[in-house]
Copies of this chain bind each other. A is one copy, B any other.
């Protein structure tokens, strides 16, 4: 009886999962393949698929099935598919069904309308034209928060959308630690005499050759992955065996390569999920923070490491003889680990990135609490850029208007980027302890040990557990701990810049 009910729930959730992945392919196509005039009808199609998925999930039938199955689910093994699916679906349903369909529709509509306004405002350095749509998004987000009971702080509600179970005060505690321990690193580096000049021009064609060689060494296979150019890189896909990553190219630096490694990390997480979870809501990463830990791991802990470059630098040099002819691997290693406070978050280095996030986290809370008139947002932004990074913001385009998130109504999203950095270092300490010869593999271009470890300990579980439970299984603690990341940074920068070693 319960088994039959479970099968029905699973069938309904499979249909919804198909719609969610369909929307994901529509989105991928929109950003990678669609001719520009297809935009208007694509917006309708994506809205329709999204609305049907939401209606089907929040239906009374699904709610009833979940209710009836709750007790039965608790009798199954905690990490079984049955128990996990019921537990996660119950939590999702509870949250999704609290928001009226009208409000949800208004939020999507407002975000869709705000996006082109933001694009124009950013282009014209004109915060004033963005202000009314930002205000509208913010008001809707406040109404959204009001749909839920607040235990502690209103920001908890939006944070939980991206990092289930995480509390604002917990993030604040972590970020305070970073302000105290990470921010000084940047000043110490500056005090040691700054940075080398940048390398010259990199041709695009050899960049594409190189990044594919790296991706294949990492575990990208042509039968289950795609890599395509796009304007704003992202990872996506239609399922565990259909992973799409995207990148973009610059001639001034190899940001495209690091972007590819970053998106590979996201893709690998989705690709190594247990196939038994396909067509369920468990077939994705446990949270955005954990997801970002995987992208940052491949981009930074692997891709900016000396063992990686010991293997790959000769090939890179061969492909870019003009740009890198007079480099050796040590100089190149310093160059890809350059520390330099800068205006733009997505271009920030490992040592300054989190500071960009802290600023946004604080401003988001302040906006939700009406701590200052919204007109004043650029000033608030600029003064924090000075406080945290010692930088003067020359215009709003390179300041408060730089990110897409607020135009899309995404508030509570930014912290997950920094949390991902921190988690990546926590996991890395565990991995390097368990795999003592992993770096030897890197020096020979082999990454299978790391890939397998991640699958076995993290990826295969998908979204069966809460982020805290998952971290506990991987690292032995459910708490996000910023100390390993700061330790890792100080150690690296000590070697490069001669700042003080970790205590």
User: CB within 8 Å of B: which residues of A?
Assistant: 14-15, 18-19, 21-22, 25-26, 29, 33-38, 40-42, 44-45, 47-49, 52, 222-226, 238-243, 278-279
Contact = CB atoms under 8 A, between A and B. Distances in A.
Contact of A41 (B48, B52, B278): B278
Question: Binding site of A, secondary structure by majority: helix, strand, loop or mixed?
Answer: helix
A283 to B, nearest CB: 10
Copies in the complex: 2
A37 B275 CA distance: 13
Contacts of A240: 41
Contacts of A49: 18-19, 22, 49
B241 A38 contact: yes
Contacts of A225: 35
Nearest to A45: B18
Given A18-B44, A18-B48, A25-B29, 5 more contacts: A15-B52, A35-B241, A35-B242, A36-B223, A38-B242
Nearest to A224: B37
A41 B238 contact: yes
Contacts of A42: 238-239, 242
A411 to B, nearest CB: 29
Contacts of A238: 29, 34, 38, 41-42, 45
B37 A241 contact: yes
B41 A241 contact: yes
A37 B239 CA distance: 10
Given A35-B224, A223-B35, A241 B40 contact: yes
A359 to B, nearest CB: 38
A38 B239 contact: yes
Q: Which of A35, A52, A226, A278 has the most CB of B within 10 A?
A: A35
Nearest to A225: B35
A38 B278 contact: no
Nearest to A47: B18
Given A42-B238, A238-B45, A242-B42, A26 B22 contact: yes
